[in-house]
Structure 1
Amino acid sequence: MKNVFIIADDTTGANSSAILNKPLGYNCVSIYTKINEVKENSVYALSTNSRGIEKEQAYKVVKESLETLKGEDGIYNKRVDSTLRGNLGSELDAFLDYFPNKKAIVVASFPSSGRTCENNKLLVFGELLEKTDVAKDPKCPVHTSVVTDLFKQQTSRKIDNIILNDVRSDKFSSILKDKYNKNDIIVIDAKHNSDIDLIAKTCVDLNLDIITVGPGPFTYYYTKNCKMKEAYKFYGLIGSVTLLSMNQMKYAQQHGAYIYELDAHKILTEGYEQYLDDCYKEIIQISNDFLIITSSCLNKKSKLDLNKYCNNTQIPEDISNLINNRIAKLFIDVITLAKPNCVYTSGGDTTVEFLKQAESFGLQMNNQIIPLTVESTILGGPFANLKIVSKGGLIGEDDTLVYIRNFMKVGM
């Protein structure tokens, strides 16, 4: 996943913006000197302490901060104060001069902190910005709530805005694309986090080359939507035969998953090796990154009668273990070739058999995604360090499998 680089005009802003991205799986680092080393999967928030200085000096320190990154590939954010104090235009000019092919999308809202933008005006808990105490700030007073005007005070670039009604309309995508083509800076209204998420998703869907500008939430949602677009292989093995497991697979199928159904009867016949080899050849041709292999048949109402397959010395538990043994071996062969980012197992016996064949000696517990559903890292064996999510067959709701996959791909 792409790194995120935040340039803020003060340290508290850098900290608060960086930490928003922690649930997305990033290491979040706040720096107040310069970035000496860039590591993968990281958010770097650099404070320039430039809010109260002259605009020319603010431009210079921001430009120098960007130059230290030497064009690192990533998501770039100009973090602005949630009450729009400081050198807004000059610092954004530094960004746009350094990245001449990018445009700036400004979403000044921070709904959970009472900051919303409507009709191109910033409100603080419903009150116009210039009517709040920020107007009396001794260093950076603000005397208007019109967001575009605040940026125009220090930049001559083309700037326009999109009002909330247009954001929520069916024409938003075409409006945004048109404004993007005609302007350098676009200010967009947002009242709720859902508005910000929609703006971010539309930017990503349109493949716009942008600098995110705002106090934090817009960059979070933009990064989240970028991650949703990235390739992420999530392969599952489901041995559970509960109705809930069936419903979870059906729901996943409706939301993009490929469900590969094995024939449990053929797994238990003398020709099972050839059958599983044929299945393997079919599975490795599937191009879907959300792949579930199951020994259950989604459209059959009756369960397999294990007693029919027992000899004089066997009980149904033995037959169930035999199925898990054989499907786990198939799954091992598939993931050895496919190298997924994460594997998923449902059913306690299925999970144990998979880990046994994976030559693992244990799991490093990382997160509880939902109650009784754990995200871990495999310890030992050829799949050491591979992420695994294990869940019981009677856990969750119909959408739980999709939720787990999205959690692993994007984060909370």
Structure 2
Amino acid sequence: MKLSILADDLTGAGDSGVQIIKYGMTPFVIIQEPEEKEKDSVYIYNTDSRTMTANDSYQTMKDYCSRIEHTEETIIYKKIDSTMRGNIGRENNALYDYFTPDFVITAPAHPSNGRTVKNRMLYLHDILLHETEVARDPKTPVQHSDINRIIQEQSDRETAHIYLEDLRAGKTRMLEIFQMCKDQNIHHITADATVESDLADLAAFVESTSYSVIWGGSAGLIYHLPAVYGHEEKHYHVRQIPEGNGAAVFVVGSMSAQGRNQLRFLLQDETVKGLQIQSAEIAASAERRMEEYERIRLEAAHAAEKGFHLAFYSSDNVAEAVQNGRNAGLSSIEVSDLISRFLGETAAAVVEELQLERLFLTGGDTALQVMENLGAEIFELLDEIEPGVPIGKLPVRSNMFAVTKAGNFGKETIMQTALKRLNTKHGTEKERR
């Protein structure tokens, strides 16, 4: 089996790719197209298309389809957001139009991380998707919980669904559904799953047929694919990260409630210095952005010298930032992009200036900004510190490692866990006084 993965943002690329390490595969997330690729490695493309318009996301996906290696043995996996943000239906159209498989099957469930689908409805920790903060996402709000309806409306193509009772009825029922889809010329299918074995069974049923399939899902489904397609799980050792020097740098781009709560826990650590970027200043003008950049850079250098780890994050005065942006001729989306870019560029500049080696990046847009500004071409995935939260190596300097995390993933203490796994010795209590 040859695996090709297309993800719509950077943290999604990481949390899907890390699932295959246990099968002896070596996954690399592509940040900027490398000159050479290792033959036996798995490369994950980040299309960075989640917040694009429907038409742009379709064309971008078709462009990336032409880049990936594709043979009869290739399994194509379209990594989607587990909360259905983005233009998944349009991107499924692009995948079908380019490769013309029998089916594009989308199963976003990730039961081990609290994402389940029953009767087409997606739940986050037992709460319907449209009743969570995802419905209020400033860039990609999701207005209802029916995954089949979302795909059908976005793709404007008939979409079938596999219910739990279908899946658990066994292979004969599944074959009836596939044959019905072929007879009615239906190529898009969504699927329920409430426990991990549902995803494993879905993959096994499809693999046992002669149908060609492109898979779509979160980090949940991809974990089961290598085993279904003949790979054995290897004896797994936790990867130890070599000791690093200097401050660890946390860059918190996500505005999710879960991510902000994790940040609050981190800032209770007396070894961590919070560096709050004033969003309203960033949105106001280029001159005030430069003043804010100089303030943050100097505060960061001073804190690192005193022995603190650094946590960069934006203030939550969103309304004021949006108003300042409007006064400067910017839309609310452009303000959000500007703040994300400033956060990433500023953190990367501090990392370079102070020659720091350990990073924690949350929020796909911000993580991409940091890595691009550091000049990274690839991100080698090494291990998982919690479900869906990978740690990996950046080939920027010989000893640079990073943890990446989607905004609404991880336990309350994930940032403290990351600080321990990043294994950096920095400062003393006496220095921090």
Q: TM tier, shorter chain?
A: 0.5 to 0.7
CA drift at 1:32: 2.5
Report the 3-state secondary structure (helix = DSSP H, G, I; strand = E; otherwise coil) of the residue aligned with 2:157.
Answer: coil
2:161 maps to a residue whose letter is N
C-alpha separation between the residues in 1 aligned to 2:61 and 2:155? Answer: 15
CA pair 205-38 structure 1, distance change in 2 beyond 3 A = farther
Give me the TM-score of the superposition, normalised by structure 2: 0.50
Q: CA deviation at 1:35?
A: 6.3
Q: CA deviation at 1:91?
A: 1.0
Deviation at 1:80, TM superposition (A): 0.7
In 1, Cα distance between equivalents of 2:35 and 2:231? 29
Output the CA distance in 2 between the equivalents of 1:202 and 1:165.
14
Task: Give the Cα separation in 2 of the matches to 1:21 and 1:154.
Answer: 30
Q: Which residue of 1 aligns with 2:362?
A: none
Tell me which residue corresponds to 1:34: 33
Q: Which residue in 2 is equivalent to 1:227? A: 230
Provide the rounded CA distance (Å) in 2 between the counterparts of 1:117 and 1:63. Answer: 28
- Which residue in 1 is equivalent to 2:173? 172
Q: Which of the residues 201, 204, 224 maps onto 1:201?
A: 204
State the partner residue of 2:299: none
* Shift of residue 41, structure 1, vs aligned partner: 3.8
Q: Per-residue deviation at 1:179?
A: 4.3
Aligned partner of 1:210 in structure 2 is: 213
Find the residue that maps to 2:44 and give its secondary structure.
strand
Q: CA distance change for structure 1 residues 38 and 225 in 2, over 3 Å: closer, same or farther? A: farther
Answer with 1 or 2: which has the greater Rg.
1
Structure 2, unaligned stretches of length 5 or more? Answer: 233-433
Q: Could you tell me how far 1:103 is from its partner in structure 2? A: 1.3
Q: Is the partner of 2:199 in helix, strand or coil?
A: helix
Q: Which residue of 2 aligns with 1:192?
A: 195
Partner residue, 2:123: 123
What TM-score does the superposition give when structure 1 sets the normalisation length? 0.53
Shift of 1:196: 0.6
| Change in 2 beyond 3 A, CA 1:173/1:151 | closer
Looking at structure 2, the residues matched to 103 and 152 of structure 1 have their Cα atoms a distance apart, in angstroms, of 14
How far the C-alpha of 1:11 sits from its partner, in A, is 0.2
Compare 39-48 and 202-211 and name the one that shifted more.
39-48
Q: Is the 8 A contact 1:77 1:213 kept in 2?
A: yes
Q: Matched residue pairs, number?
A: 228
User: Cα deviation per residue 1:99-156 (whole Å; 9 max; x = unaligned)?
Assistant: 1134111111001110000001111111110000100100000011000111122212
State the 1:228 CA deviation: 5.3
Pair 1:41–1:158, CA change in 2 (3 A): farther
Give SS of 1:57's match.
Answer: helix
The 2-side partners of 1:172 and 1:38 are apart by 42
Structure possessing the higher relative contact order (Cα contacts under 8 Å, 6 or more residues apart): 2
Unaligned runs of at least 5 residues, structure 1: 230-412
Do the aligned partners of 2:62 and 2:95 also contact (CA within 8 Å) in 1?
Answer: yes
Equivalent residue number for residue 109 of structure 2: 109
Matched, 1:69 2:68: yes
What is the deviation of 1:3?
Answer: 2.1
With over 3 angstroms needed to count, the CA separation of the structure-2 counterparts of 1:4 and 1:71, relative to structure 1, is closer
* Matched residue, 1:4: 3
Rounded to whole Å, the distance in 2 between the matches of 1:228 and 1:42 is: 15
